């Protein structure tokens, strides 16, 4: 029976035998083959899978063959470990070993869950950061059963102490790796956050550039609490309420809300009457807070009824443009009035001049002479040239120079004035002589050589075109229209006292050097050091006034004219008239006056420069000016309110160039004491003409 049962199976497996055997094999194979497949799938395959997953180990301690297999497997593991040591770092091997001890044999899932940071992409940083806590919890739970798993999986018995040390080292290695990964993730997140913030800020800046006429500031009438700490906060709030009420009144009228429009107009008039000309809260009427409250309620109502963001923006922009136009118009009017004020002489100074003139002509002829006239042509002394028609201004220049001079007896002042002020100038210095210094006063109208046949400026002033330009009034209907060319209609540009600086060798033929001073300066230090400066063959010693892009030649001259463009550098540095040391010997050698005449004749139609003496001075002394140290001469006290105090205090000369002269009411208060300290306000003439400090 046994043979008969095995024969078909063997015959079928071998494929041989007779015909009876073939029939039996055929019928047997049809039943046995499916059975074998089922047994393999449900019995043998799972066993093979679990054996493979457990590393090929079968824990049967009693079987000697299994022991031999385990020894062979340990040998293979040792060989694989040695190969891994040549590839992976020690920390990674420790982590793999400890993880195997805790979780069993390695699998693909292990590497998916515990991949090295270098295998991860940046896109997974956020996901990993969210799951880091879960991973840590799993690691902790795994650590709690580490000893038990280790004893089961390790085939070689080890000492408990060694086991604890290995376990602790592995945990420390894992902990360090986790900390490094966390730090890296945190740094990456911070970096990305900073980059995003910078991008947002840059985008906001670009958007802000596209907004025109933006009114910056935190002031808003819609704030519940007013943050202004100034004393005029209520005044400002009321003015802003009036502006918003005007905007809403226009919107209400356009939407046919006549009741709201009338109410807004009424409140606007009330607020305007309440504010009036007030500049501080103390100037307001006691009813102002109530008007602010009522207006605020009305504005809230108007906002609910007619508010339209686009319409409000357009209306405010239109109001802003209108305000800009008004500001420009007011600036023109201010320029006109300041130019007009600069041309005038205060009543007190006019009074002083008239009284001095009367008393001078009452003096006998023998008392009209100054002492030490022999010093006037001595080239060894320090000579000053001062051309002025303002008695008080000239007295400040002389007094400040002498009071700060180390050797006053060596200083000589040459004053030149016009016929109208000649008597007053003489009388003042006869009554108030400058100590041991020498002084002399001349009348420019007595210089007979200074006539229209010799002087181009005088000849041009006699032309019909120049008379029309200067003296024919356009009868402007507004102040702003009358400001055209007003600066150049100033009498000083027509006076020969202003142009006399180009004729110094003709006025003082016996002198070698002379220091020219304007009448709107104050001397604060001894100036004798200027005579010791080597001008290196130049004619004019002056302080340069140019900066990086201003007060250069192109500011004063017309470089579209070929004569100017061909002969001068537009970026050449300008310099200041007001305190200039002139070498009269070099002047005569280089015929400076002739150069001046040449350019003045070419400018008869005012095509090279407008008017004044600085532009022709720049042309005449081009490449003939030696720059002085800036501490010798500080300018701008007549127009610049932001000059550093230390610069003024350290300057040898301060200059009130500009319209805000120190003797005018429009002078800047903080600069005026530098000038007034040299006036004797207790003098009978000054006190009699009500000249006050």
Averaged pLDDT score across all residues of the chain? 76
pLDDT, mean of residues 613-637: 94
Of 195 and 530, which is predicted with more confidence?
530
CB-based contacts of 474: which residues, under 8 Å, 6+ apart? Answer: 481, 482, 484
Tell me the pTM.
0.58
CB-based contacts of 412: which residues, under 8 Å, 6+ apart? Answer: 375, 376, 378, 381, 382, 383, 384, 437, 438, 439, 440
The confidence score (pLDDT) of residue 550 equals 67
Q: Report the C-alpha gap between 506 and 500 in whole angstroms.
A: 10
Among candidate residues 166, 180, 183, the one with its CA nearest the CA of residue 95: 166
**Phi and psi for 305 in degrees, rounded to 5?**
-85, -45
Of 82 and 663, which is predicted with more confidence?
663
pLDDT over 80 (residue 477):
no
Confidence tier at 572 by pLDDT (50, 70, 90): very high
The confidence score (pLDDT) of residue 148 equals 44
CB burial of residue 359 (10 Å; 0-12, 13-18, 19+):
middle
Tens digits of per-residue pLDDT, 238-262? 888 899 998 899 889 888 888 999 9
pLDDT over 60 (residue 664):
yes
pLDDT over 60 (residue 98):
no
The confidence score (pLDDT) of residue 496 equals 84
Q: Fill in the DSSP letter of residue 234.
A: H
Q: Which of 28-42, 52-66, 89-103, 461-475 has the highest mean pLDDT?
A: 461-475
pLDDT, mean of residues 3-24: 41
> What angle do helix axes 19-39 and 2-14 make, rounded to 10 degrees?
90
The confidence score (pLDDT) of residue 143 equals 47
Residue for token pair 């140290």? 629
Least confident segment among 325-339, 394-408, 616-630: 325-339
Stated as kind and residue range, the H or E segment containing 294 is: helix 288-306
Q: Report the C-alpha gap between 388 and 422 in whole angstroms.
A: 10
Query: Got the DSSP string for 461-526?
Result: HTSHHHHHHHH-----SSTTGGGTTGGGGSHHHH-HHHHGGGGHHHH-TT-SEEEEE-TTEEE-S-
Q: In terms of C-beta distances under 8 Å and separation of at least 24 residues, what long-range contacts does 96-99 make, across chains too?
A: 97/170, 98/146, 98/166, 98/167, 98/170, 98/171, 98/173, 98/174
Q: Are strands 382-387 and 411-417 parallel, antiparallel or unpaired?
A: parallel
Q: What percent of the chain has pLDDT over 70?
A: 66
Least confident segment among 261-275, 329-343, 566-580: 329-343
Confidence tier at 329 by pLDDT (50, 70, 90): confident
CB burial of residue 385 (10 Å; 0-12, 13-18, 19+):
buried
pLDDT over 60 (residue 173):
yes
The confidence score (pLDDT) of residue 320 equals 86
pLDDT over 70 (residue 389):
yes
Of 535 and 342, which is predicted with more confidence?
535
Q: Are 554 and 571 in contact (CB under 8 A)?
A: yes
Q: Fill in the DSSP letter of residue 633.
A: E
Q: Report the C-alpha gap between 499 and 557 in whole angstroms.
A: 18
pLDDT, mean of residues 539-561: 86
Tens digits of per-residue pLDDT, 498-530? 899 999 999 999 999 999 999 999 999 999 999
Tokens encoding 68: 């031999």
Tokens encoding 558: 């017309």
- In the chain, the domains with their CATH numbers are 232-342 (no CATH), 347-688 (3.90.550.10)
Count other Cβ atoms within 10 Å, centred on residue 233: 15
pLDDT over 90 (residue 370):
yes
- Across the chain, which distance is largest between two alpha carbons, in Å? 179
Least confident segment among 77-91, 225-239, 609-623: 77-91
Q: Are 557 and 603 in contact (CB under 8 A)?
A: no
Q: Are 363 and 421 in contact (CB under 8 A)?
A: no
Q: Are 530 and 541 in contact (CB under 8 A)?
A: yes
Of 643 and 692, which is predicted with more confidence?
643
Confidence tier at 157 by pLDDT (50, 70, 90): very low
pLDDT over 50 (residue 480):
no
Confidence tier at 167 by pLDDT (50, 70, 90): low
The confidence score (pLDDT) of residue 656 equals 95
SS3 content of the chain, % helix, strand, coil (to 5): 60, 5, 35
The confidence score (pLDDT) of residue 71 equals 53
Tens digits of per-residue pLDDT, 42-97? 555 555 555 445 444 444 444 444 445 455 555 555 655 665 555 555 655 665 55
pLDDT over 70 (residue 674):
yes
pLDDT, mean of residues 119-135: 43
The confidence score (pLDDT) of residue 374 equals 93
């Amino acid at each position: 029976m046994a043979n008969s049962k095995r024969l078909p199976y063997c015959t079928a497996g071998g494929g041989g035998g007779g015909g009876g055997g073939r029939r039996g094999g055929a019928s047997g194979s049809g039943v046995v083959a499916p059975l074998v497949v089922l047994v393999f799938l449900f019995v043998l395959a799972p066993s093979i899978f679990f054996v493979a997953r457990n590393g090929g180990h079968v824990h049967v301690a009693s079987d000697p063959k299994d022991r031999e297999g385990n020894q062979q497997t340990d040998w293979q593991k040792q060989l694989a470990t040695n190969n891994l040591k040549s590839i992976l770092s020690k920390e990674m091997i420790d982590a793999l070993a400890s993880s195997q001890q805790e979780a069993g044999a390695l699998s693909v899932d292990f590497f998916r869950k515990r991949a090295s940071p270098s295998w991860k992409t940046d896109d997974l940083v956020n996901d990993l950061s969210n799951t880091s806590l879960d991973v840590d919890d799993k690691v902790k739970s795994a650590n709690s059963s580490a000893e038990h798993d280790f004893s089961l999986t390790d085939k070689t018995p080890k000492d408990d102490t060694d086991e604890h040390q290995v376990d602790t080292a592995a945990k420390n290695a894992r902990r360090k790796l986790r900390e490094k990964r966390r730090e890296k993730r945190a740094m990456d997140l911070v970096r990305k956050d900073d980059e995003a913030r910078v991008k947002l800020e840059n985008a906001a800046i670009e958007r802000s550039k596209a907004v025109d006429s933006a009114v910056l500031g935190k002031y808003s009438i819609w704030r519940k609490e007013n943050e202004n700490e100034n004393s005029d906060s209520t005044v400002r709030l009321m003015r802003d309420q009036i502006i918003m009420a005007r905007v809403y009144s226009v919107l209400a009228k356009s939407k046919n809300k006549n009741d709201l429009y009338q109410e807004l107009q009424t409140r606007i008039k009330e607020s305007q009457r309440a504010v009036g000309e007030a500049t501080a809260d103390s100037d307001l009427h006691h009813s102002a807070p109530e008007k602010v409250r009522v207006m605020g309620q009305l504005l809230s109502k108007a906002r609910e009824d007619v508010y339209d963001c686009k319409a409000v923006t357009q209306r405010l922009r239109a109001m802003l443009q209108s305000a800009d136009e008004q500001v420009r118009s007011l600036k023109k009017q201010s320029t006109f009035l300041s130019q007009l004020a600069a041309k005038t002489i205060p009543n007190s100074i006019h009074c002083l001049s008239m009284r001095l003139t009367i008393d001078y002509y009452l003096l006998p002829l023998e008392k009209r002479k100054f002492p030490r006239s022999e010093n006037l042509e001595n080239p060894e002394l320090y000579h000053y040239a001062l051309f002025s028609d303002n008695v008080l201004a000239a007295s400040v220049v002389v007094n400040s120079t002498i009071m700060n001079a180390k050797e006053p007896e060596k200083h000589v002042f040459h004053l030149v004035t016009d016929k109208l002020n000649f008597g007053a100038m003489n009388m003042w210095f006869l009554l108030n002589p400058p100590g041991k210094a020498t002084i002399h006063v001349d009348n420019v109208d007595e210089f007979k050589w200074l006539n229209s046949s010799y002087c181009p400026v005088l000849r041009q002033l006699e032309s019909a075109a120049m008379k029309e330009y200067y003296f024919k009034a356009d009868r402007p209907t507004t102040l702003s229209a009358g400001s055209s060319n007003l600066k150049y209609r100033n009498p000083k540009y027509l006076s020969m006292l202003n142009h006399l600086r180009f004729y110094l060798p003709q006025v003082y033929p016996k002198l070698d050097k002379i220091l020219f001073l304007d009448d709107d300066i104050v001397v604060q230090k001894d100036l004798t050091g200027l005579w010791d400066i080597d001008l290196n063959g130049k004619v004019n010693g002056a302080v340069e006034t140019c900066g990086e892009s201003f007060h250069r030649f192109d500011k004063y001259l017309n470089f579209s004219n070929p004569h100017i463009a061909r002969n001068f550098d537009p970026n050449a540095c300008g310099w200041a008239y007001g305190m200039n040391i002139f070498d009269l010997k070099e002047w005569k050698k280089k015929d400076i006056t002739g150069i001046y005449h040449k350019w003045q004749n070419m400018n008869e139609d005012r095509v090279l420069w407008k008017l004044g003496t600085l532009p022709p001075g720049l042309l005449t002394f081009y490449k003939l000016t030696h720059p002085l140290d800036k501490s010798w001469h500080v300018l701008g006290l007549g127009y610049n309110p932001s000059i550093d105090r230390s610069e003024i205090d350290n300057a040898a000369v301060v200059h009130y160039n500009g319209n805000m002269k120190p003797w005018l009411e429009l002078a800047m208060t903080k600069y005026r004491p530098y000038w007034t300290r040299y006036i004797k306000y207790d003098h009978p003439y000054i006190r009699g003409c009500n000249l006050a400090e």
